[in-house]
Amino acid sequence: MKLLVTLILLAQTLVLGAQPAAKAIEDKSLNLKDRYQVMKTGSQTYEDYKVIKEHILEGFWKITMDSVNKQQASINVLNSRISTLEGELLASQNNIKEQQASVEGIVYDSKHISVIGIPFGKGAFLILTAIIVGGLVVMLVIIMGRMKIAHGAMKEKELIAHTLTQEFDEYKKKALEKQSKLSRELQNERNRLVDMRGQKM
Protein backbone atom coordinates (compact mmCIF):
# COMPACT_ATOMS: atom_id res chain seq x y z
CA MET A 1 0.00 0.00 0.00
CA LYS A 2 2.81 2.35 0.82
CA LEU A 3 4.24 1.56 -2.50
CA LEU A 4 1.02 2.44 -4.25
CA VAL A 5 0.76 5.77 -2.43
CA THR A 6 4.33 6.55 -3.30
CA LEU A 7 3.67 5.78 -6.94
CA ILE A 8 0.54 7.95 -7.00
CA LEU A 9 2.38 10.85 -5.41
CA LEU A 10 5.20 10.35 -7.79
CA ALA A 11 2.85 10.35 -10.79
CA GLN A 12 1.18 13.57 -9.65
CA THR A 13 4.45 15.37 -9.19
CA LEU A 14 5.57 14.10 -12.54
CA VAL A 15 2.43 15.38 -14.23
CA LEU A 16 2.55 18.74 -12.46
CA GLY A 17 6.31 19.17 -12.83
CA ALA A 18 6.40 18.00 -16.46
CA GLN A 19 4.39 20.87 -17.89
CA PRO A 20 6.68 23.68 -16.64
CA ALA A 21 9.76 21.62 -17.59
CA ALA A 22 8.40 21.03 -21.12
CA LYS A 23 7.70 24.75 -21.53
CA ALA A 24 11.11 25.70 -20.15
CA ILE A 25 12.88 23.26 -22.49
CA GLU A 26 11.15 24.77 -25.56
CA ASP A 27 12.18 28.31 -24.54
CA LYS A 28 14.22 29.60 -27.53
CA SER A 29 16.42 31.88 -25.42
CA LEU A 30 18.01 28.94 -23.55
CA ASN A 31 21.05 27.11 -24.81
CA LEU A 32 21.42 23.30 -24.66
CA LYS A 33 23.20 23.31 -21.31
CA ASP A 34 20.45 25.43 -19.69
CA ARG A 35 17.74 23.23 -21.21
CA TYR A 36 19.50 20.14 -19.87
CA GLN A 37 19.60 21.71 -16.39
CA VAL A 38 15.88 22.58 -16.61
CA MET A 39 15.06 19.01 -17.72
CA LYS A 40 17.22 17.56 -14.94
CA THR A 41 15.82 19.77 -12.17
CA GLY A 42 12.24 19.40 -13.46
CA SER A 43 12.38 15.60 -13.43
CA GLN A 44 11.66 13.32 -10.47
CA THR A 45 14.35 11.34 -8.70
CA TYR A 46 13.80 7.72 -7.92
CA GLU A 47 16.65 6.29 -5.86
CA ASP A 48 19.75 6.97 -8.05
CA TYR A 49 17.67 7.50 -11.21
CA LYS A 50 15.98 10.48 -12.78
CA VAL A 51 12.54 9.89 -14.17
CA ILE A 52 12.00 11.95 -17.32
CA LYS A 53 8.83 11.90 -19.35
CA GLU A 54 9.22 10.58 -22.85
CA HIS A 55 7.73 13.63 -24.63
CA ILE A 56 10.12 15.92 -22.69
CA LEU A 57 13.03 13.68 -23.64
CA GLU A 58 11.86 13.66 -27.29
CA GLY A 59 11.50 17.45 -27.26
CA PHE A 60 14.98 17.81 -25.83
CA TRP A 61 16.28 15.36 -28.46
CA LYS A 62 14.55 17.30 -31.26
CA ILE A 63 15.95 20.61 -30.02
CA THR A 64 19.39 18.98 -29.64
CA MET A 65 19.24 17.63 -33.19
CA ASP A 66 18.08 21.03 -34.47
CA SER A 67 21.06 22.62 -32.72
CA VAL A 68 23.39 19.97 -34.09
CA ASN A 69 21.96 20.43 -37.62
CA LYS A 70 22.27 24.21 -37.29
CA GLN A 71 25.85 23.81 -36.10
CA GLN A 72 26.54 21.39 -38.98
CA ALA A 73 25.04 23.85 -41.48
CA SER A 74 27.18 26.58 -39.96
CA ILE A 75 30.23 24.28 -40.17
CA ASN A 76 29.39 23.52 -43.83
CA VAL A 77 29.10 27.24 -44.60
CA LEU A 78 32.39 27.87 -42.80
CA ASN A 79 34.04 24.94 -44.63
CA SER A 80 32.78 26.35 -47.93
CA ARG A 81 34.12 29.77 -46.95
CA ILE A 82 37.45 28.16 -45.94
CA SER A 83 37.62 26.38 -49.32
CA THR A 84 36.91 29.68 -51.08
CA LEU A 85 39.57 31.45 -49.00
CA GLU A 86 42.06 28.62 -49.64
CA GLY A 87 41.38 28.98 -53.39
CA GLU A 88 41.89 32.75 -53.16
CA LEU A 89 45.05 32.19 -51.09
CA LEU A 90 46.38 29.72 -53.68
CA ALA A 91 45.58 32.16 -56.48
CA SER A 92 47.28 34.96 -54.51
CA GLN A 93 50.32 32.75 -53.88
CA ASN A 94 50.51 31.89 -57.60
CA ASN A 95 50.16 35.58 -58.45
CA ILE A 96 52.92 36.45 -55.96
CA LYS A 97 55.15 33.70 -57.46
CA GLU A 98 54.53 35.08 -60.97
CA GLN A 99 55.28 38.62 -59.80
CA GLN A 100 58.39 37.40 -57.98
CA ALA A 101 59.54 35.56 -61.12
CA SER A 102 58.83 38.72 -63.14
CA VAL A 103 60.78 40.86 -60.64
CA GLU A 104 63.66 38.34 -60.67
CA GLY A 105 63.62 38.48 -64.49
CA ILE A 106 63.71 42.29 -64.40
CA VAL A 107 66.54 42.25 -61.83
CA TYR A 108 68.44 39.68 -63.92
CA ASP A 109 67.90 41.75 -67.08
CA SER A 110 69.03 44.89 -65.25
CA LYS A 111 72.27 43.19 -64.17
CA HIS A 112 72.99 41.34 -67.43
CA ILE A 113 73.50 42.20 -71.09
CA SER A 114 72.92 39.72 -73.90
CA VAL A 115 75.43 39.96 -76.74
CA ILE A 116 74.98 37.58 -79.69
CA GLY A 117 72.72 35.50 -77.46
CA ILE A 118 75.35 35.16 -74.72
CA PRO A 119 74.38 36.70 -71.36
CA PHE A 120 77.09 38.74 -69.63
CA GLY A 121 77.05 40.47 -66.25
CA LYS A 122 77.23 44.23 -66.70
CA GLY A 123 80.53 44.45 -64.79
CA ALA A 124 82.05 41.57 -66.77
CA PHE A 125 80.74 43.10 -70.01
CA LEU A 126 82.27 46.49 -69.15
CA ILE A 127 85.61 44.86 -68.31
CA LEU A 128 85.50 42.79 -71.51
CA THR A 129 84.57 45.88 -73.54
CA ALA A 130 87.38 47.88 -71.91
CA ILE A 131 89.87 45.08 -72.69
CA ILE A 132 88.68 44.87 -76.31
CA VAL A 133 88.76 48.67 -76.75
CA GLY A 134 92.19 48.80 -75.05
CA GLY A 135 93.45 46.04 -77.35
CA LEU A 136 92.10 47.88 -80.38
CA VAL A 137 93.74 51.12 -79.24
CA VAL A 138 97.07 49.32 -78.71
CA MET A 139 96.75 47.69 -82.15
CA LEU A 140 95.88 51.07 -83.67
CA VAL A 141 98.90 52.69 -81.99
CA ILE A 142 101.16 49.85 -83.22
CA ILE A 143 99.72 50.10 -86.76
CA MET A 144 100.09 53.89 -86.74
CA GLY A 145 103.70 53.55 -85.48
CA ARG A 146 104.50 51.05 -88.20
CA MET A 147 102.80 53.25 -90.77
CA LYS A 148 104.85 56.21 -89.56
CA ILE A 149 108.05 54.15 -89.77
CA ALA A 150 107.02 52.88 -93.22
CA HIS A 151 106.14 56.42 -94.29
CA GLY A 152 109.53 57.67 -93.06
CA ALA A 153 111.29 54.82 -94.88
CA MET A 154 109.26 55.57 -97.99
CA LYS A 155 110.19 59.25 -97.82
CA GLU A 156 113.81 58.28 -97.36
CA LYS A 157 113.60 55.95 -100.36
CA GLU A 158 111.85 58.66 -102.35
CA LEU A 159 114.65 61.05 -101.41
CA ILE A 160 117.28 58.50 -102.35
CA ALA A 161 115.43 57.75 -105.61
CA HIS A 162 115.13 61.49 -106.32
CA THR A 163 118.82 62.00 -105.57
CA LEU A 164 119.75 59.04 -107.74
CA THR A 165 117.49 60.29 -110.52
CA GLN A 166 119.04 63.73 -110.27
CA GLU A 167 122.54 62.28 -110.30
CA PHE A 168 121.61 60.05 -113.22
CA ASP A 169 120.13 63.02 -115.09
CA GLU A 170 123.33 65.01 -114.44
CA TYR A 171 125.46 62.04 -115.50
CA LYS A 172 123.30 61.61 -118.60
CA LYS A 173 123.58 65.30 -119.37
CA LYS A 174 127.36 65.21 -118.88
CA ALA A 175 127.57 62.04 -120.94
CA LEU A 176 125.54 63.66 -123.72
CA GLU A 177 127.72 66.75 -123.55
CA LYS A 178 130.81 64.58 -123.57
CA GLN A 179 129.40 62.57 -126.48
CA SER A 180 128.56 65.76 -128.33
CA LYS A 181 132.02 67.11 -127.64
CA LEU A 182 133.62 63.84 -128.72
CA SER A 183 131.38 63.78 -131.80
CA ARG A 184 132.48 67.32 -132.66
CA GLU A 185 136.08 66.50 -132.01
CA LEU A 186 135.72 63.36 -134.08
CA GLN A 187 134.05 65.34 -136.82
CA ASN A 188 136.78 67.93 -136.58
CA GLU A 189 139.38 65.21 -136.85
CA ARG A 190 137.58 63.73 -139.83
CA ASN A 191 137.30 67.08 -141.41
CA ARG A 192 140.98 67.65 -140.83
CA LEU A 193 141.78 64.26 -142.23
CA VAL A 194 139.67 65.00 -145.28
CA ASP A 195 141.38 68.36 -145.58
CA MET A 196 144.80 66.75 -145.26
CA ARG A 197 143.98 64.18 -147.90
CA GLY A 198 142.60 66.90 -150.08
CA GLN A 199 145.84 68.84 -149.80
CA LYS A 200 148.01 65.83 -150.53
CA MET A 201 146.22 65.18 -153.72
Question: In terms of Cα–Cα distance, which of 9, 35, 14 is closest to 23?
Answer: 35
Contacts with 128 (C-beta within 8 Å, 6 or more apart), sequence order? 120
Q: Please, are residues 26 and 59 in contact by the beta-carbon 8 Å criterion?
A: yes
Q: Where are the domains of the chain?
A: 2-93
Residue 117 DSSP class: T
Q: Please, are residues 80 and 56 in contact by the beta-carbon 8 Å criterion?
A: no
Distance CA 35, CA 20 (A): 12
Identity of residue 149: I
Find residue 112's DSSP bridge partners: 121
What is residue 10's predicted lDDT score, i.e. its pLDDT?
Answer: 47
What is residue 149's predicted lDDT score, i.e. its pLDDT?
Answer: 92
What is residue 5's predicted lDDT score, i.e. its pLDDT?
Answer: 45
pLDDT tens for the chain, residues 1 to 201: 555 545 554 445 444 444 455 555 556 667 778 878 887 887 888 888 888 888 888 888 888 888 889 889 999 999 999 999 999 999 999 999 999 998 888 887 777 777 777 777 778 778 888 999 999 999 999 999 999 999 988 989 899 988 999 988 888 888 888 888 888 888 888 888 888 877 766
Cα distances (Å, whole numbers) of residue 20 to 17, 38, 145, 177: 6, 9, 123, 167
